[in-house]
């Protein structure tokens, strides 16, 4: 299984319930298809560098997961079909990126405590 990271931006006009439903939908899709969630983060509402679909902000989320490579194409198709998602990017992590992500998660835990 390879390690991946997905960052996606949700439409800023969504309610808190709609955001939670959408995030849960993608998480369930991964788990149903044999992926193991490593981490997920809600980065909140952020200003965009440029307008997307005439919107100047969006709700950012990050998923870090381990999954078989054949899961990625249908996973990304789900993002492309979902009208609530403005942008998404999935990258495969190498050993250095995995180590860096772990350091970042540890740092986040210590700053929140």
- Residue 103 belongs to a domain with what CATH number? 3.30.70.60
Distance CA 54, CA 11 (A): 10
pLDDT by residue for the chain (113 residues), tens digit each? 899 999 999 999 999 999 999 999 999 999 999 999 999 999 999 999 999 999 999 999 999 999 999 999 999 999 999 999 999 999 999 999 989 988 888 887 777 66
How many domains are there within the chain? Answer: 1
pLDDT of residue 36: 95
pLDDT of residue 112: 67
| Residues in CB range of 105: below 8 A, 6 or more apart | 39
pTM for the whole thing?
0.89
Distance CA 106, CA 62 (A): 15
pLDDT of residue 113: 60
Identify the domain containing residue 40 by its residue range.
2-112
The CA-atom distances, in angstroms, between 21 and each of 27, 71, 96 are 10, 21, 32
| Residues in CB range of 71: below 8 A, 6 or more apart | 30, 33, 34, 35
pLDDT of residue 105: 84
């Amino acid at each position: 299984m390879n390690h991946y990271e997905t960052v996606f931006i949700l439409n800023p006009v969504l309610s808190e319930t709609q955001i939670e439903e959408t995030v849960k939908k993608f998480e369930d899709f991964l788990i149903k298809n044999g992926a193991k969630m490593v981490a997920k983060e809600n980065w909140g509402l952020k200003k965009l560098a440029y307008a997307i679909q005439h919107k100047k902000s969006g709700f950012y989320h990050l998923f870090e997961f381990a999954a078989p490579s054949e899961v990625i194409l249908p996973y990304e198709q789900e993002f492309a079909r979902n009208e609530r998602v403005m942008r998404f990017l999935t990258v495969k992590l190498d050993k250095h990126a995995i180590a860096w992500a772990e350091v970042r998660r540890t740092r986040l835990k210590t700053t929140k405590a």
